[in-house]
């Protein structure tokens, strides 16, 4: 239960990313993906690579390698408009190339058209269509929307709707995450879709993470079919046996960290309970992959109430941010409120910026009714210095958590094998366990909004090449039933 003074709009605000810009000589560079041949405005060499290969100034459209952006001697053309007439023809904002510079913009940085460099084979010519434009169903073998019955809406986030569905061929129940392609219009958005799918694939081998059944797409949407966990999220059960839940969350986070993945979106809403009462983390859209020991990243992202101080300070960070978020979540489970309870009658203090100021500057007051061990573990996870935070010491971080006095009664071996008896088993009163989901979602009509044909025409379908997937482990299990 939330306390009467808790503002749920702040408390459960959705996770998101803030745009990351790099300043150099008046330019504001943003990392971009280039689908055609692009050449650097500093060294004139071709910009190669996968994902976001280079930087582009959001003002003058100058393209450069990431390694070259700090060397650019040219002043941003935005500041030269008064003395230099623009050479760019007007561009329709709705065209698919609206965010690309014309080939004549600078004379040194451009994306080539098919009329130039004919001797270089354009890789895009090899791409085969994966979408049938007539009915929006994938041509190649695999699953499609027609293979599922849509039962109920069970969730909604910043970018997606989650449906309860039934696979027609065997009556198995799954959750289906539906993402509109028109909302995935930025390179960072495309990256998080790919990352979420990849993390879902890896998560299938851990009992405390929601796994992936399959993926498919239409011209307008992406579909991720995932495990249906019918016990509801931890918001429903947060004050019941918090130690057990916290320990299982620790195992799930450590599993991701050992594979170089920062979760970055731990919150009560993303911790589900299965029918037996064990937790499963879900929603991997904010994950960061590929980090080794000591590696860091710097993207400003997360759910405001759970963002770690080092992110707010603009520092490079690593796995430490997940242990901070666990501290926030455990505080909520133990105290029934956020550690950053800022609700006042002053509207200037009920803002995101003020929340960030509180996270950075205000000391966290632990409720007096909590035990000494509980108070100590919260102080450990909620240390504003990531180097001193519980779980963050190199080599021994997870061992420090397991040996903490708060978790001393936990049998970690039994817990990791999912053999420990959960303290609470969700009540499943119907075939689907919908009583454990918010009626705000389950009362919605089960339908997908009509496609916007103009929006579909602007989508580069090649960005989603290879999205289709069927989990071979789950497929073999279904066939044996």
Q: Which residues are annotated as a binding site?
A: 181
Residues annotated within a binding site for ATP? 181
Cβ-based neighbour number of residue 422 at 10 Å: 19
- Given a contact cutoff of 8 angstroms between Cβ atoms, the answer to whether 298 and 20 are in contact is yes
Residues identified as active-site? 265
Buried b (16+ CB within 10 A) or exposed e, 20-47: eeeebebbbbbbbbbeebbbbbbeeebb
Tokens of 422: 């959960």
- Burial label for 316, CB within 10 Å (0-12, 13-18, 19+), is exposed
> Residue 387 burial by CB count (10 A; 0-12/13-18/19+): exposed, middle or buried?
exposed
Q: Is the CB of residue 164 less than 8 Å from the CB of residue 155?
A: no
Q: Tell which residue, 301, 256, 300, has the closest CA to residue 282.
A: 256
| Measured distance CA(280)–CA(270) in Å, rounded | 8
Contact 279, 249 (CB under 8 A): yes
Distance CA 251, CA 256 (A): 9
Q: Is 322 exposed, middle or buried (0-12, 13-18, 19+ CB in 10 A)?
A: buried
The counts of H helices and E strands in the chain are 12, 14
Quote the strand ranges of 350-442, DSSP E. Answer: none
């Amino acid at each position: 239960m939330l306390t009467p003074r808790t503002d749920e709009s702040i408390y459960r605000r959705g996770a998101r990313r803030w745009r990351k810009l790099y300043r150099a000589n008046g330019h504001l560079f943003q990392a971009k993906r280039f689908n055609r041949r692009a050449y650097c405005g500093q060294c004139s060499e071709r910009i190669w690579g996968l994902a976001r290969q280079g930087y582009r100034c959001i003002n003058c459209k100058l393209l450069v390698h990431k390694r070259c952006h700090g060397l650019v001697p040219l002043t941003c053309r935005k500041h030269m408009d008064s003395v230099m007439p623009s050479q760019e023809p007007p561009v329709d904002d709705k065209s698919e190339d609206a965010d690309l510079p014309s080939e004549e913009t600078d004379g040194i940085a451009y994306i080539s058209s098919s009329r130039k460099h004919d001797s270089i084979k354009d890789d895009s010519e090899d791409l085969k269509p994966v979408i049938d434009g007539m009915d929006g169903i994938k041509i190649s073998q695999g699953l499609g929307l027609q293979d599922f019955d849509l039962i109920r809406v069970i969730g909604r986030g910043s970018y997606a709707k989650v449906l309860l569905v039934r696979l027609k061929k065997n009556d198995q129940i799954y959750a289906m995450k539906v993402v509109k392609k028109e909302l995935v219009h930025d390179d960072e958005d495309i990256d998080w879709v790919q990352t979420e799918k990849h993390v879902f694939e890896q998560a299938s081998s851990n009992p405390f993470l929601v796994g992936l059944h399959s993926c498919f797409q239409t011209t307008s949407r992406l579909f991720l079919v995932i495990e249906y966990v019918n016990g509801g999220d931890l918001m429903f059960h947060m004050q019941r046996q918090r130690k057990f839940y916290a320990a299982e969350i620790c195992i799930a986070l450590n599993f991701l960290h050992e594979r170089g993945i920062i979760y970055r979106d731990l919150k009560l809403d993303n911790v589900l309970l299965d029918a037996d009462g064990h937790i499963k983390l879900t929603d991997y859209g904010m994950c960061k992959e590929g980090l080794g020991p000591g590696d860091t990243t710097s993207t400003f992202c997360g759910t405001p109430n759970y963002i770690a101080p080092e992110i707010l300070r603009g520092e490079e960070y690593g796995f430490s941010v997940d242990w901070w978020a666990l501290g926030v979540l455990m505080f909520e489970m133990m105290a029934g409120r956020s550690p950053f309870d800022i609700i006042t009658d002053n509207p200037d203090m009920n803002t995101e910026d003020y929340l960030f100021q509180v996270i950075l500057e205000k000391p966290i007051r632990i409720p007096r009714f909590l035990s000494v061990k509980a108070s100590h573990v919260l102080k450990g996870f909620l240390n504003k210095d990531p180097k001193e935070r519980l779980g963050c010491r190199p080599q021994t971080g997870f061992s420090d958590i397991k040996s903490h006095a708060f978790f001393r009664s936990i049998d970690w071996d039994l817990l990791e094998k999912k053999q420990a008896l959960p303290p609470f088993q969700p009540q499943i009163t119907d075939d689907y366990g919908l009583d454990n989901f918010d009626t705000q979602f389950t009362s919605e009509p089960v339908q997908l909004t009509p496609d916007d044909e103009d929006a579909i025409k602007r989508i580069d379908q090649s960005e989603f090449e290879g999205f289709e997937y069927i989990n071979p482990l789950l497929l073999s299990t279904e066939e044996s039933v």
